Amino acid sequence: MNSCSICGVNIVHPKDSIILYNYVIRIIDGFIAEVLPIKQYNGKNDKTHDFEGCWVMPGIIDMHTHITFEPHYTIQDEAYCKSNDFLQCSINNLNEMKSSGITTCRDMGSHNNSTFIVKKYLLENNLYNLPEIISCGDIITYESGHMCCCGHEFKNVDSLISTLLINKTCDAKFIKIASDPKDTETEGRIPNPAFTIEQLSQIVNIAQRFGFYAACHTYPSVEGLTRAIAANVRTIEHAVPLNEDIKKMCDDNLFFVPTFVAAYDEVGILELLKKGISKNQILLEKIKDYCIPKIYNLSSVPKSLLEWFNILCDVLPENLYKGVNFCIGSDAGCKGTDFRSALREIMLLKVIGATNQQVLFAATENAAKALSRFDIGIIKPGARANLLLLRDNPLEIIDTLFENVGVICNGILELH
């Protein structure tokens, strides 16, 4: 039995902003065994770590990553998701995530189920100190659809079942469906190429029989959002129009993973500021502090992406958190978005108008709920020991996330 105790910490529960002062967290074999006031702790036989005065919150859950992808590439290099050494690349990416406090990541697609190979390698080599990977397996897309190079085009029910069987064998926990009627521009696709409501519903229903929930990549059209919601998907991936349609997303079983940071990284924040694309210049100036400076040629950026950006800056702030279940997702691995970017996603939500409590909840327990997991995103006996040690109270000083004291991933402590 491997046991240790984290002593003297102040525990933050983001869901309800409850703080437990001067507590001990006992960890046994990677799980939280006890959470108790330090005056009730008798030392036992644990290896003790004194973190008196430090603040502890659950490890961050990044709900949208591509762990086998190489994010550091030029705008012209479209081979970013075809790394020759995806295994080493993935381990580097996981370490980058862990260093920023991310202890669980949802992988949203790879080439030929390479994520499964990564997970198998980690298990065989006892690499339990890295973030847990929750994988979608191969992506389901329409003819010549988004990321068809990384997934399977839906042709009929038999082809879908074949893909789902492969995904089940490869330990996938959900499926990702790529579908949006406006996704015509960059690939020269025919008008309205995406799945109909009936097709989406059929895919979702069949996937449920295999024990999968569905995540839907859809942006930036209202129609794409409408179809996804009507088909009863679990999560909506990427920014979508949230004006009068926001009411459609107010459902306890529907979760929104906007991946704001990927939009800013893709377009280039300095170029957007220079061109004055958005009416909300004050907001853009604030967001700039949390974005990696890039200068791209806007003439090469698809119109749909600029529309996406304007949705984020001009529509979302006034509608933020009106009963919508938000989760944090970075789209790390996608075109320059690195694997620490969940922190920037948290900051962007904060700048747009969310409270510290809302963004921390979105990054922890609410994401766990979206995954139907009750052993992550929370600090309680029986939960996995995924913890983030901080210098300050994140409910008051959100920037403290950028300089953590240490990260405990599956019970293994790494100090920074």
- CA–CA separation, 300 and 302 (whole Å): 6
Q: Are both 316 and 408 inside the same structural domain?
A: no
What phi, psi does 299 have (nearest 5°)? -65, -20
SS3 227: helix
- Cα 74 → chain centroid: 23
Structure tokens at 52: 């008196």
Average pLDDT for 3-24 = 95
Contact 114, 82 (CB under 8 A): no
Residue type for position 32: I
The tally of CA atoms less than 13 A away on the side-chain side of residue 314 is 13
- CA–CA separation, 217 and 220 (whole Å): 10
Average pLDDT for 267-277 = 64
CATH number at residue 275: 3.20.20.140
**How many other C-beta atoms are found inside a 10 Å radius of the C-beta of residue 96?**
18
Residues 6+ apart with CB under 8 A from 252: 325
Q: Are both 220 and 329 inside the same structural domain?
A: yes
Q: Are both 315 and 233 inside the same structural domain?
A: yes
Q: Are both 299 and 408 inside the same structural domain?
A: no
- Residue range 279-299, pLDDT digits in tens: 667 777 777 777 766 555 556
The pLDDT assigned to 244 comes to 56
The tally of CA atoms less than 13 A away on the side-chain side of residue 71 is 24
Q: Are both 50 and 88 inside the same structural domain?
A: no
Strand ranges, E, within 240-322: 255-257
The pLDDT assigned to 69 comes to 85
The pLDDT assigned to 74 comes to 43
Task: Kindly indicate the confidence band of residue 76, based on its pLDDT and cuts at 50, 70 and 90.
Answer: very low
By percentage, how much of the chain surpasses pLDDT 90?
54
CA distances from 120 to 123, 165, 311 (A): 5, 18, 40
Average pLDDT for 181-202 = 72
Residue type for position 55: W
Q: Are both 83 and 116 inside the same structural domain?
A: yes
Residues 6+ apart with CB under 8 A from 229: 236, 248, 249, 251, 254
Q: Give strand pairing partners of 175.
A: 214
Q: Are both 245 and 270 inside the same structural domain?
A: yes
Strand ranges, E, within 218-319: 235-237, 255-257
The pLDDT assigned to 125 comes to 93
Average pLDDT for 356-374 = 96
SS3 261: helix
Nearest to 330 by CA among 59, 103, 62: 62
Q: Are both 314 and 406 inside the same structural domain?
A: no
The answer, yes or no, to whether residue 343 has pLDDT greater than 80, is: yes
Q: Which of 198-207, 304-313, 345-354, 371-380 has the lowest average pLDDT?
A: 304-313
Q: Give strand pairing partners of 412.
A: 409
- CA–CA separation, 391 and 413 (whole Å): 16
The pLDDT assigned to 346 comes to 93
Task: Kindly indicate the confidence band of residue 384, based on its pLDDT and cuts at 50, 70 and 90.
Answer: very high
* Residue that wins the pLDDT comparison between 267 and 258: 258
CATH number at residue 405: 2.30.40.10
The tally of CA atoms less than 13 A away on the side-chain side of residue 134 is 23
Average pLDDT for 179-187 = 64
Q: Give strand pairing partners of 406.
A: 389, 415
Q: Are both 102 and 52 inside the same structural domain?
A: no
Task: Kindly indicate the confidence band of residue 277, based on its pLDDT and cuts at 50, 70 and 90.
Answer: low
Residues 6+ apart with CB under 8 A from 161: 206
Average pLDDT for 395-406 = 95
Q: Are both 366 and 390 inside the same structural domain?
A: no
Q: Are both 54 and 182 inside the same structural domain?
A: no
Burial 4-16 (b: 16+ CB within 10 A, else e): bbbbbbbbbbbee
Average pLDDT for 128-134 = 96
Residue 290 sits in which domain range? 60-370
Average pLDDT for 158-175 = 94
Q: What is the pTM (predicted TM-score) of this model? A: 0.92
Average pLDDT for 69-81 = 52
Average model confidence (pLDDT) for the chain?
85
- CA–CA separation, 244 and 272 (whole Å): 26
- CA–CA separation, 320 and 288 (whole Å): 20
The pLDDT assigned to 144 comes to 72
- CA–CA separation, 94 and 244 (whole Å): 38
Average pLDDT for 31-58 = 91
Q: What's the total number of domains in the chain?
A: 2
The answer, yes or no, to whether residue 84 has pLDDT greater than 60, is: no
Q: Are both 166 and 295 inside the same structural domain?
A: yes
